[in-house]
Amino acid sequence: MAQNDRQASDSNIPIAPKGLGILLVVGPSLVWAAEYIGSGEVIIATRTGAILGTTVLWAVILGVFLKFWIGVAGARYTVCTGEGMIDMFDRIPGPRHWVVWIVLVVQLFCAVMSTGALATSAGTFIHSLVPAVDVRLCGLFAALFAVAVAWSGVFDVLKIVMSLFVLIIVIGAMYIAYHVFPSFGELAAGLTGKLPAVPEWAVAMETVDDSAWQEILPVLGWGAGGFASQVWYTYWVIGAGYGATAGRGYGRTADLSSLRAMPKETAQRIKGWCYTLYVDSSLAMVLGILVTGAFLIAGAGILGVEHLVPENSNMADVLAEIFARRWDNVGGFLFKLCGAVAMVSTLMGQLAGWPRLLADSCRLCIPGFNRKFVWKWQFRIFLILFAGTSLLIVCVLGRQPISMLKISSILEGVLLIALQAAAVGIGLFFIMPRMLSKEAYAVLKPGWIFAAGLLGTFAFYGYLCVTQVPQALLEILHLTH
């Protein structure tokens, strides 16, 4: 009987690909990258480059690299146990559901603000491509298109569309940056960690303060996405069926009885999928650094030399016309196309991810929600909610897209990251060992590199939360009004 159970357990988990075969199953990283390569890159990184130049290239690399450790560590837990990051948070010691309640409250606010700002920004870029169409109608189209793609909840549909969008964004960003690529000396200076002074011409602008941190924090916040992006990556891993997630689907906690009886052979199969995960997540990290760095370099090389900064009232004009002026219509069209695609792809990723995150949170914190609705409608209820709030913000409230994006990036991408790094570390090193059999954990035990990466992320973002975030938020709110 035990032998039959072992064979059944093994047969549920396909053998992981090896060598170049891994590239055939790469997919979660493309959805992850297409989701977080958007407003933070096209708008925030370009704006930061225009104000501070390539001196702050270190912030791009550091932000993406540190968030990478949360994403890959959380996804490794998912590959080994079969459940997503929200279920991991629910196992953190302390009052019942305390971490998940924090996530539910804060993420609901961030989701409404961010999706609305993205729909507004997407409408602005689409309008720059087709000026004959009203900007609000363009925003409505972007929101409805994103909802339509996310509605099915099927990972393969999302993977195909997002992969195409990533290709367009990468080609466009590389083309733009190539024409203004800095010298080796300037590039090296941008990796020293130096905090530059904000130039006087920039301080004279409507939404620019004399503190460099006010521009750097949003870059660090949107680098590799915020708190939610790292949670969503575990969903894309579940959708792709890596390791113990094979055949499980969304909205389910781990099967503890199966995990505690897991034989060594099954753990070895899962470990093969861990290697696949490392390739997949590393691809997302490299894409994030390259594309974000390209937009920062483009902002420095084009907008910075012209002393122009994208602001709430002139974002599309500055980000499109100056590029067109530099290379006639080709460069301007490519940048506008890149911007539109990046905004819509990020909006699609957010509308596919936030409903899953909040549905999972409600499933755990509000048991009646889970009993009353099947998972697909748990997901769709939140999708309909965000579609409605996005349309409202586009039509009525979307007058401050840059300010909204900066505030949400600090709240969602900086303030919660230290907590997330600590929670993932606890889940990976203290909770997972108790979920697996001893022989399985001996095979799947995470290496010290994960502890070092998570500790570094916790320390850096914790420092920012204490020393920089309060003042930066006050400055943004003051400048907005």
pLDDT along the chain (481 residues), means of 10: 42 76 70 64 82 93 94 96 95 93 90 84 82 86 85 62 65 72 85 88 81 87 84 89 88 91 93 92 87 86 80 59 58 71 79 88 88 85 89 69 70 86 96 96 96 97 89 67 51
3-state class (DSSP) for residue 430: helix
Q: Is the torsion defined by CA of 182, 183, 188, 189 positive or negative?
A: negative
Return the ∠ at Cα 414 (arms to 409 and 417), rounded to 5°.
Answer: 125
Shortest CA distance to 429 belongs to which of 417, 446, 444? Answer: 446
Contact 220, 60 (CB under 8 A): no
Query: Maximum Cα–Cα distance for the chain, whole Å?
Result: 77
Residue 2, Cα to own-chain centre: how many angstroms?
A: 42
Contact 208, 51 (CB under 8 A): yes
Looking up tokens 């034989």 gives 263
Contact 474, 406 (CB under 8 A): no
CA–CA distance, 455 with 416 (Å, rounded to integer) = 15
Helix then strand then coil, in percent of the chain rounded to 5, is 80, 0, 20
- Packing angle, helices 135-151 and 375-392, rounded to 10: 180
Shortest CA distance to 221 belongs to which of 91, 59, 390? Answer: 59
Identify the pLDDT of residue 441: 96
Q: What is the dihedral of CA 61, 449, 37, 279, to 10 degrees?
A: 120
Number of domains in the chain: 1
What are the beta bridge partners of residue 329? 327
Looking up tokens 């990020």 gives 346
Shortest CA distance to 307 belongs to which of 318, 293, 320? Answer: 318
CA–CA distance, 278 with 43 (Å, rounded to integer) = 29
- Domain carrying residue 373: 2-480
Question: 446-473 burial, b if ≥16 CB within 10 A, otherwise e?
Answer: beeebeebbeebbebbeebbeebbeebb
Contact 183, 301 (CB under 8 A): no
CA–CA distance, 85 with 76 (Å, rounded to integer) = 10
Shortest CA distance to 363 belongs to which of 112, 70, 81, 101? Answer: 101
Look up residue 124 and give its two tokens. 């602005």
CATH number at residue 296: 1.20.1740
DSSP per residue, 447-464: PHHHHHHHHHHHHHHHHH
Name the residue type at position 309.
V
